[in-house]
């Protein structure tokens, strides 16, 4: 794996969006590029939809507090 993300993408990304298949595909696409999940996902309700967030890191080993 390259030491830098492809296409000028940042090393840290916070993916956000409605909790739907499109969001799941965005996370899956990032993992396929070589990003790793960082920490736990977050979810909230905006009155109409569930909105989710997942942090990802390029070249991450583990999140703080994880082994």
Label each residue of the chain as H, E or C: CCCCCHHHCCCEEEEEEECCHHHHHHHHHHHHHCEEEEEEEEEEECCCCEEEEEEEEECCCCCCCCC
The answer to whether residue 18 sits within a structural domain is: yes
> Closest Cα to residue 33, out of 62, 64, 1?
1
Domain that residue 38 falls in: 9-58
Provide the domain count of the chain. Answer: 1
Q: Tens digit of pLDDT for each residue in 40-56?
A: 999 999 999 999 999 99
The answer to whether residue 4 sits within a structural domain is: no
Q: Tens digit of pLDDT for each residue in 13-30?
A: 999 999 999 999 999 999
Q: What is the pLDDT of residue 19?
A: 98
Strand ranges of the sheet holding 50-58, from the earlier edge strand across to the other edge:
12-18, 50-58, 35-45
Average pLDDT over residues 1-17: 92
Residue 12 pLDDT > 60: yes
The answer to whether residue 66 sits within a structural domain is: no
């Amino acid at each position: 794996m390259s030491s830098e993300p492809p296409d000028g993408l940042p090393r840290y990304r916070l993916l956000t969006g409605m909790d739907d298949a499109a969001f799941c595909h965005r996370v899956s696409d990032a993992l396929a590029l070589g990003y790793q999940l960082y920490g736990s996902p977050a979810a909230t309700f905006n009155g109409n939809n569930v909105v989710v967030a997942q942090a990802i890191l390029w070249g991450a080993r583990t999140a703080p507090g994880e082994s």
